[in-house]
Amino acid sequence: MNYYIKNILFVSILVLIMVGCQTVGTVSIQVITPAEVNIPGPIKNLLIVNNSIVEPSSPFTLEIQKQLFSLDTLATQYIVNTVGAIIDESPRMESVIVLPDIYYKKPKELLKAIPWNEVQQICEANNTQGLLSLEAFAIDDTLVNYSYYDGYGYTYYKSMVLIVNSLWRIYDPYQKQIIDKKIYRDTIAFENFSSRNAYSDALAKSASRVSIAEQISHDISAAIADRIMPYWVTEKRNFFVSGSQELVQAANFVYKDQWIDAAKIWQKYTEEENSRIAAAACYNMALACEVQGKIDLALIWIEKSIMKYNHYLAIDYKNTLKERARINEKLDKQFGLD
C-alpha cells in the first residue's frame, strides 16, 4: 500500500560512489515499521487518558512530598500528551484524542483495570473505539557513582538517576478485551544533579520540576508509542546515476522528489543493448515502484535487473524488497486490510 512509504525524500548531500564503471547515488526515504502490538482493525480512533495518579490519603506533611507529587503529575501529563502526538503521526489511526483531565485513583484502586462500563462510556462520549490508559506511574531516585579513565587517571563524579516505572493498558470496549498490558521501566540520568541536595533544590522550583518532567517524557514516550503503533523510519537506498546525460537528469529528478519524471527516463533504458545500463535502469524502476508503495512490481523489476546483469547491489536490493513485502503483510493485518 502506498501509505507504507512516504513519497517525501530527505536528501541533504548528493552521495555518489563508483561501483565498477557505474556511478551510484544514495537517497533517503521514510518507510513504515510494524508495531509490536496488533490493535484490531476496527479501532480507528483512539482515546488516551491519564489514570495513574493516586489521590493522597492525607495532606502532605513534608514539602518534598508535595513536590514529588507535583513532579509525578506533570510528568504523566507530558507523557500522555507526547504519546498522543506521536501516535497521531502514525497512518494507523484516523484520530487521537488526549483528555486533559486526570482520573485520580483511590489507593486501593492502584494497578486495577478500569471497569468495562466506564471504558465504554468514556469511549462513546468521545466517539472512539479504543482506549489507551496510563494506569500507574512511579519514580525511584538514586545517586550513582561514575568513573572514567582519560589516559592519565580516573575521574570520578556522581549523577542523580531516576528509574521511571509506568503501566499501560489498551482497552477494546466493545469486545471487552484488554489488548495489551505493559510495564515500562526506564532509567534516566540527570548529570547536572550531582547530589541529593541539588536534586531537592531543583524540585523546590516550579520551572525545574517542569524541566525534569519534560525530560522524562522526552526519553520514554517514543518507545511507548512505537510499541503500539506503526511508525516511520528513515532508510537509505542506492540507485544508478551514470550511463547517459539523460540518466544524470533522472538522478536530478530523484533529488527533487520528481519520481514520475525520473521513471519516464529510466523506462526508455530498460531495453538498452548495453546490459549494464539496462540492468541499472530496471534497478532504478524497482526503486521508483518501492517509493510508490508497489512492492510486488518492484520485485518484478529487480528480477529483470538481475537477469540482465547479475549486480551485487541488485541482489542486495532484492533481499530488501522481499523483507519489505513480508513486513507489508504484517502491516496489512495491523491496518485491518487482511
| Whether residue 223 is found in the same domain as residue 280 | no
pLDDT of residue 18 exceeding 50, the answer is: no
| Whether residue 264 is found in the same domain as residue 316 | yes
Question: Any idea which of 17-31, 194-208, 211-225, 232-246 has the lowest mean pLDDT?
Answer: 17-31
Q: What is the pLDDT of residues 35-54, one digit of tens each?
A: 899 998 899 999 999 999 98
Q: Average of pLDDT values for 74-84? A: 97
Residue 39 lies in a domain: no
| Whether residue 243 is found in the same domain as residue 176 | no
Residue 40 lies in a domain: no
| Whether residue 71 is found in the same domain as residue 30 | no
Q: Average of pLDDT values for 183-207? A: 94
Question: Any idea which of 87-91, 145-149, 225-229, 239-243 has the lowest mean pLDDT?
Answer: 145-149
Q: What is the pLDDT of residue 135?
A: 95
| Whether residue 177 is found in the same domain as residue 258 | no
| Whether residue 168 is found in the same domain as residue 312 | no
Residue 90 lies in a domain: yes
| Whether residue 15 is found in the same domain as residue 72 | no
Alpha-carbon span 97 to 46, nearest angstrom: 6
Please give the residue range of the domain that contains residue 321.
2-34+232-334
pLDDT of residue 14 exceeding 50, the answer is: no
Residue 318 lies in a domain: yes
pLDDT of residue 194 exceeding 70, the answer is: yes
Give the residue from 185, 205, 229 where a domain finishes: 229
pLDDT of residue 193 exceeding 70, the answer is: yes
CATH number, domain with residue 10: 1.25.40.10
pLDDT-derived band of residue 169, with 50, 70 and 90 as boundaries?
very high
Q: Average of pLDDT values for 221-235? A: 91
| Whether residue 30 is found in the same domain as residue 76 | no
Give the residue from 173, 208, 229 where a domain finishes: 229
Domain count, the chain: 2
| Whether residue 180 is found in the same domain as residue 98 | yes
| Whether residue 308 is found in the same domain as residue 207 | no
| More reliable by pLDDT, 335 or 258 | 258
Q: What is the pLDDT of residue 6?
A: 53
Q: What is the pLDDT of residue 149?
A: 76
Residue 122 lies in a domain: yes
Give the residue from 192, 210, 229 where a domain finishes: 229
| Whether residue 72 is found in the same domain as residue 204 | yes
Q: What is the pLDDT of residue 170?
A: 97
| More reliable by pLDDT, 298 or 242 | 298
CATH number, domain with residue 68: 3.30.160
pLDDT of residue 264 exceeding 90, the answer is: yes
Q: What is the pLDDT of residues 112-163, one digit of tens each?
A: 999 999 999 999 999 999 999 999 999 999 999 877 777 787 887 889 999 9
| Whether residue 15 is found in the same domain as residue 61 | no
